[in-house]
Homo-oligomer: A and B are copies of this chain.
Amino acid sequence: MTVGETFTYIYHFSQDDVRTFAELTGDDNPLHLDPVYAANTLFKRPIMHGMLSASVFARVFGRNFGGTGGVHLSQMLEFVRPMYPDVEYEARFECRSIDTRRHTAEISCVVVDPATNKPTLRGLGVVYHKEMFT
């Protein structure tokens, strides 16, 4: 990987995925699960857990952009707009810096709703990979 390199990943989670995440984590906030409850909030319909939408970092760092065996050291997340199940989002990753001494890279990500071109999630992660970041 080189500084400035980018990687785009299209993803979505279904309402079933949101239910699985709710069961796995125990976060059964009705805002994520109950259409009637959500209809009476400013979101109008169930929204994804922020931490589920942010799991795209794990996926992309672990498989696509960061190298198999990379280790996630830190992560900053800003949930700037609600994200909904069954909507396709575009996650735009960019390698911001590489520290060859520490074998780490800073990788930014902006998740965008392609329908509006507005960001929904912003993040900056640090990944360690002994062989990749040299």
- Tell me the residues in window 116-130 of chain A with beta carbons closer than 8 Å to chain B beta carbons: none
The answer to the question of A86 belonging to the interface, with a C-beta cut-off of 8 Å to chain B, is no
The answer to the question of A63 belonging to the interface, with a C-beta cut-off of 8 Å to chain B, is yes
- Expressed in whole angstroms, the minimum distance between the Cβ of A4 and any Cβ of chain B is 24
Q: Which residues of A pack against B, CB within 8 Å?
A: 13, 17, 20-21, 24-32, 37, 41, 49-52, 54-59, 61-63, 68-79
A78: chain B residues within 8 A (beta carbon):
73-74
Which of B29, B54, B61 contacts A69 (CB under 8 A)? B29
The answer to whether A41 and B24 have CB atoms under 8 Å apart is no
The answer to whether B30 and A68 have CB atoms under 8 Å apart is yes
- Expressed in whole angstroms, the minimum distance between the Cβ of A11 and any Cβ of chain B is 8
